[in-house]
Amino acid sequence: MNVKQTPPPTREFDPILMAVLANRLNAIVREMANTLLKTARSAVLAVVRDFSCSIVTGDNRLLCPGEGLPVHIFGSSLQSQSMCDLHDDLAPGDAFLHNDPYLGNTHPADHMIMVPVFIDGVHLFTTCAKAHQADCGNSIPSTYHAYAKDIYEEGALIFPCVRVQKNFQDVNDIIRMCKRRIRVPEQWYGDYLAEIGSARIGERRLIELTKRYGIETIQAFTEQWLSYSERRMVDAIKKMAPGKLSNTTVYDPLPPILPDGLPIRVDIAVDPTAGYIDVDLTHNADNMAFGLNESVACATSNAMCGVFNCMDPDVPHNAGSFARVRVHLRDGCITGVPKFPHSVSMATTNIGDRIVNVTQAAFAAIGDGHGLAEGAIGMGAGAGVISGLDWRRDGPFINQEWLITNGGPATPTTDGWLNYGLPVAAGLMYRGSVEVDESKYPILVKHLRVIAGGGGAGRFRGAPGSELVYGPRHDPMTVVISCDGQVNPPQGVRGGHAGPPAATYKLKRDGSAEKLPGVVECRLEPGEWVQGFDAGGGGYGSPLERDPARVCRDVLERWETVPRAHDIYGVVLTGSADDDSLAVDVNATAARREVLAR
């Protein structure tokens, strides 16, 4: 019963009603997200919010991304498109499970649930809930398989948009397949239900909304809202200077595949006259036999994200504004399009994070006030996937931790955002709670503290990361870590310094520390610990231009250290932070800065 939509009538739309409806869609997506957060069972979803909800139109245009993770969102419409292409019998009560990265999904660990929403027999919307699973049946106990030479070695169960509910009931064949192959099946099923609930809540609310305002009003609103968003984006691009920008960043070495690391290049063309920005990712290496290749959804999303990070944030984010950014990809390229069966196990993060960074930093070349520094990269120990046995429940456990901080990039007007996480998450994800993690998993966190002086110096400084130590309590535990940024840290722009690199250590029983490589599967016995240092964000502008009062406050509030204030910022302080007497020696600072400037 897939009825074609009638073209909506065009008429002037009441601006207040337009604002009401746009916000109502946001509120619906918020309620979907709240449902997923509050009902999920793995900490990566229920605490950390590594998921996104969105609403797509029946003809597959992204209408409302809510406040979902950018990397999850831009591709929702690719997946709903494949739902329409593959199924000509869509009906109320259907739900689809889609994690196929060759058909529009991000990477196999992201299970997307889609519900086609019917009103009076018309497929008007699709509600989407995409969540990063604690496990997806990979050949190793991690959803990130850096060394998978192809999808077969990776091992994830792939669902190319299959019907998982019919008449609002589970299709149990599919559920049984998942329960057989996904580690800790009850945790997976609970998370699956949370996604279904989220998509169904969205369905209920959209039906209520359409009944309240009428199908014609809603269709007219949809067109007006998308064209308004496109106009806003065109206006924003028209204010930019025309030109071509090119930038390269280098992904960390990954022996033996990448002994020297991997340059990631972006070429950008800004055309204010036509109102388009073109982002070209085609000048990159061919696909490689590892899990770091980009999917189409991830490459597109991450390039878009780098662009939108540099635009007026008030421009709405949907198919209307996205139409004005054209991302160019190449078949068989490591930054998309992936050639089957190359693995894209880690497409959402690692090289994906580098694409966001290289794109947003490219805009800094336009001039002061433009672009951003690079943000902290690398899923270090605080984002490790831990697994083993929990003696308290006499059963297995697996989960991705999220106790990293990873400092955000400095901007032309502010210091970096502290809880940044990753470029692809941009501070939106929540932090794990030490107490929740320790109650759900058999670990003990020894300490977790923000690193003083841990951000790249600059007129505005990058945010610092944190240092974390944790380990198993009674039984051995496996930690799988897929870190970047240990060799090539986040770069500053316009004279700003790079942030410090990330690092991982294994702390042994004899008290010694063993440095671990970026990507590692590490087994810890009770009494052993893993220690992680986050990378810090890059700085913006010269540190010698930073307001000395801000440097003084940084030292007082433990963001910076006295030696760094003196050596890097050229700020001479008197008094002590311990009795609130810290102050700037203005003359000595001027002299010191003069010396450093030479």
Partner 1 sequence: MPFRISVDTGGTFTDVVVTDAAGRFTIGKALTDRQRAFASIEAGLAVAAAQLGTAAAALLADTAMFLYGTTRATNGIVERKTARTAFLTTAGFPDILLLKEGGKAEPHNLQMEYPDPYIPRRYTFEVPERINAEGGVESVLDETAVRRVLETFPRRGIEAVAVCLLWSIANPAHELRVGELIAKILPKLPFTLSHQLNPILREYRRASSTAIDASLKPLMQKYLSDLETDLRRAGYANDILVSTSFGGVMHLADVVKRPIYLVKSGPAMAPIAGLAYVEAEGLPNNVIVCDAGGTTFDVSLVRDGAVEYSRDTWLGPQWTGDNLGMASVAVHSIGAGGGSIAWVDSGGLLRVGPQSAGSEPGPACYGRGGDYPTVTDAAVVLGYFDPAHFLGGRMTLDEAAARRVIKGVADALGQTLERAAWAVVAVASENMIQAIKELTINEGIDPSDSALIGGGGAGGLNIVPIAQELGCRTVLGPRTAGALSASGMQFSDIITEAGASKLTASDDFDFAGVNRALVDIENRLEEFADRLRARGFKDLEKRYFVEARYRFQVWELEINVPGSRFANQAQIEALVHEFHRVHERVFAVHDENNAVEFLNWRGRLIAKVNAPTLEPTKALATREAAPDRMRRCYFGNAQVDTAIYLGDKLPVGAIVNGPAIIEEDTSTLVIYPGAIARVSPGGRYLVTPPQENQR
165 binds partner 1 (CB under 8 A): no
Q: Using CB under 8 A, which of 1, 3, 10, 38 touches partner 1? A: 38
**How many other β-carbons are positioned within 10 Å of the β-carbon of residue 179?**
14
CA atoms within 13 A on the CB side of 324: 29
Please report, as residue ranges, which positions from 73 to 92 form the binding site for partner 1 (by CB under 8 A).
none
Instruction: Choose which of 55, 236, 281, 448 interacts with partner 1 (CB under 8 A).
Output: 448
Rank residues 68 and 492 by Cβ distance to partner 1 and give the closer one. Answer: 68
Q: According to CB under 8 A, which one of 2, 5, 17, 389 is a site residue for partner 1?
A: 17
Alpha carbons 37 and 204: distance in angstroms, whole number: 18
Q: Please choose, out of 136-144, 424-432, 503-511, 526-534, the segment that lies near partner 1 by the rule CB under 8 A.
A: 424-432
Stretch that binds partner 1, among 105-113, 249-257, 378-386, 435-443 (CB under 8 A): 435-443
CB of 591 to partner 1, least distance (A): 28
- CB of 201 or CB of 237, closer to partner 1: 201
Q: By CB under 8 A, which span of 146-154, 224-232, 336-344, 447-455 interacts with partner 1? A: 447-455
Residues 515-544 that bind partner 1 (CB under 8 A): none
Q: Which pair of structure tokens corresponds to residue 66? A: 């809510």
Instruction: Identify whether the C-beta of residue 133 lies closer than 8 Å to the C-beta of residue 158.
Output: no
Q: Give the total of residues touching partner 1 (CB under 8 A).
A: 90
For residues 384-403, which are near partner 1 according to CB under 8 A? 392
User: Considering the rule CB under 8 A, would residue 447 count as an interface residue with partner 1?
Assistant: yes
The verdict on 434 binding partner 1 (CB under 8 A) reads: yes
Side-chain half-sphere CA neighbours of 529 within 13 A: 16
Distances from the Cα of 142 to the Cαs of 75, 139, 174, 293, 507, in angstroms? 24, 8, 22, 17, 22
- 3-state secondary structure string across 160-206: CCEEEEECCEECHHHHHHHHHHCCCHHHHHHHHHHHHHHHHHHHHHH
Distance CA 325, CA 434 (A): 40
Dist CA 462 CA 414 (whole Å): 9
> Per CB under 8 A, which of residues 237..296 are in contact with partner 1?
none
Residue 412 found at the interface with partner 1 (CB under 8 A): yes
Find the part of the chain contacting partner 1 (CB under 8 A) among 82-90, 156-164, 445-453, 497-505: 445-453
| Cα gap 155→109, rounded to integer Å | 11
CB of 437 to partner 1, least distance (A): 9
- Which residues from 462-491 bind partner 1, rule CB under 8 A? 463, 466, 473
Of 284, 293, 411, 488, the one binding partner 1 (CB under 8 A) is 411
Contacting range for partner 1; rule: CB under 8 A; set: 62-70, 142-150, 171-179, 248-256: 62-70
Q: Which residues partner with 64 through β-bridges? A: 55
Answer for which of 25, 90, 161, 344 binds partner 1 (CB under 8 A) is: 25
Cα end-to-end span (Å), the chain: 75
Tell me if residue 367 falls in helix, strand or coil.
coil
From the list 446, 474, 509, 523, which residue makes contact with partner 1 (rule: CB under 8 A)? 446
Contact 233, 226 (CB under 8 A): no
Question: What is the signed CA dihedral for 430, 433, 436, 438, rounded to 10 degrees?
Answer: 130
Tracing tokens 């406040």 back to the chain, one arrives at 67
Task: Return the residues of window 180-199 that contact partner 1 according to CB under 8 A.
Answer: 186-187, 190, 193-194, 196-198
CB of 481 to partner 1, least distance (A): 20
**Residue 177: what are its φ and ψ, rounded to 5°?**
-60, -45
Check binding of 167 to partner 1 (CB under 8 A). Answer: no
**16 lies in the binding site for partner 1 (CB under 8 A):** yes
Residue with tokens 């950014």: 325
Count the alpha carbons within 13 Å of 248 in the hemisphere toward its beta carbon.
Answer: 9
Read off the DSSP letter of residue 283.
S
Per the listing, tokens 């599919």 go with: 174
Q: In the window 308-347, what residues touch partner 1 (CB under 8 A)?
A: 308-309, 311, 313, 317
Residue 171 engages partner 1 in binding (rule: CB under 8 A): no
**Binding of partner 1 at residue 37 (CB under 8 A)?**
yes
Q: How far apart are CA 429 and CA 68, in angstroms?
A: 9
Minimum CB–partner distance for residue 569 and partner 1 (Å): 19
Complex with partner 1: residue 260 or 312, whichever CB lies closer: 312
Q: What residue type is assigned to position 214 of the chain?
A: G
- Among 46-54, 116-124, 331-339, 517-525, the segment contacting partner 1 (CB under 8 A): 46-54
The pair of three-digit structure tokens given for residue 343, joined into one six-digit string? 């693995």
Residue number, 112 or 151, with CB nearest to partner 1: 112
Answer for which of 330, 508, 550, 558 binds partner 1 (CB under 8 A) is 558
- Tokens 């421009």 — which residue? 315
Residues 343-382 binding partner 1 (CB under 8 A) are: 372, 375
What is d(CA 231, CA 321) in angstroms, rounded to the nearest whole number?
Answer: 8
Smallest distance, Å, CB 582 to partner 1?
9
